[in-house]
């Protein structure tokens, strides 16, 4: 039997709300921004007014969402929300921009999302924003390939990414 907090989390996930968004429900969003036609973001603060994180995401027409979190220590976390990924074990990620590798990391599947038939959350730490921002701001084509007990790959144009990632970094100030 699930606890009440687990049921709330499962219900939130069923509505397409990420784990981080559920955690952010305990925080306050004080700043939001929209860049171009696909990028949205904001800055979150804890109840005591302490900065928590910035979030930047893009919903792509193919039905998947790419999200980034930026924390006070400038560590960048990546998140994928995808309904039909076909991977049930923690995958590895190769992230490329215009065919050039910018990250090879291990990701984690949110365990609660495994129980959803229509949604899966996968996330992992990419490293410091300074090391990745130039490639992510390039406006090139991002390709993400996940390898686990299956393979899933998507590509998307990083339209307006220069302005989006600049606004994203600015939310730390």
CB 42 within 8 A of CB 48: no
Q: Is the pLDDT of residue 3 over 50?
A: no
For helices 161-170 and 129-136, what crossing angle results, to 10°?
160
Q: Are 55 and 123 in contact (CB under 8 A)?
A: no
Q: Residue 11's beta-bridge partner residues? A: none
Instruction: For the chain, give every domain's residue range.
Output: 4-170
Strand partners, 56: 41, 68
E strand or H helix that includes residue 133: helix 129-136
Of the listed ranges 53-57, 60-64, 98-102, the least confidently predicted one is 60-64
CA distance 108 to 106: 7
- Which of 22-31, 136-145, 163-172 has the least mean pLDDT? 22-31
pLDDT tens digits, 118-167: 445 666 778 888 888 899 898 899 998 888 777 888 888 999 999 999 99
Give percent above pLDDT 90 in the chain. Answer: 22
pLDDT at 14: 44
Question: Is pLDDT larger for residue 35 or for residue 30?
Answer: 35
Give the DSSP per-residue string, 79-125: EEEES-----SPPEEEEEETTEEEEEEE-EE-GGGGG-SS-EEEEEE
Q: What is the mean pLDDT of residues 3-16?
A: 39
pLDDT given for residue 128 in this prediction: 84
90-124 per-position pLDDT tens digit? 778 888 999 999 888 888 776 665 555 444 566 67
Mean pLDDT over each residue of the chain, to the nearest integer: 77
Domain 4-170: CATH architecture, name and number where available: Sandwich (2.60)
What is the dihedral angle through the alpha carbons of 123, 35, 160, 36, rounded to the nearest 10 degrees? 120
Beta bridge partners of 78: 68, 124
């Amino acid at each position: 039997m699930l606890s009440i907090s687990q049921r709330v989390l499962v219900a939130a996930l069923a509505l397409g709300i990420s784990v981080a968004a559920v955690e952010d429900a305990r925080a306050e969003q004080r700043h939001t921004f929209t860049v171009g036609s696909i990028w949205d973001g904001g800055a979150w603060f804890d109840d005591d007014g302490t900065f928590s994180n910035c979030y930047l995401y893009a919903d792509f027409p193919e039905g998947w969402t790419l999200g980034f979190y930026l924390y006070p220590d400038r560590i960048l976390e990546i998140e994928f929300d995808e309904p039909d990924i076909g991977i049930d074990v923690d995958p590895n990620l190769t992230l490329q921009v215009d065919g050039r590798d910018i990250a090879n990391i291990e990701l984690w599947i949110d365990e609660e999302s495994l129980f959803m038939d229509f949604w899966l959350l996968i996330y992992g730490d990419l490293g410091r924003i300074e090391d990745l921002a130039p490639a992510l701001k390039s406006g090139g084509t991002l390709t993400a390939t996940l390898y686990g007990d299956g393979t899933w790959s998507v590509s998307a144009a990083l339209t307006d990414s220069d302005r989006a990632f600049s606004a994203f970094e600015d939310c730390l100030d």
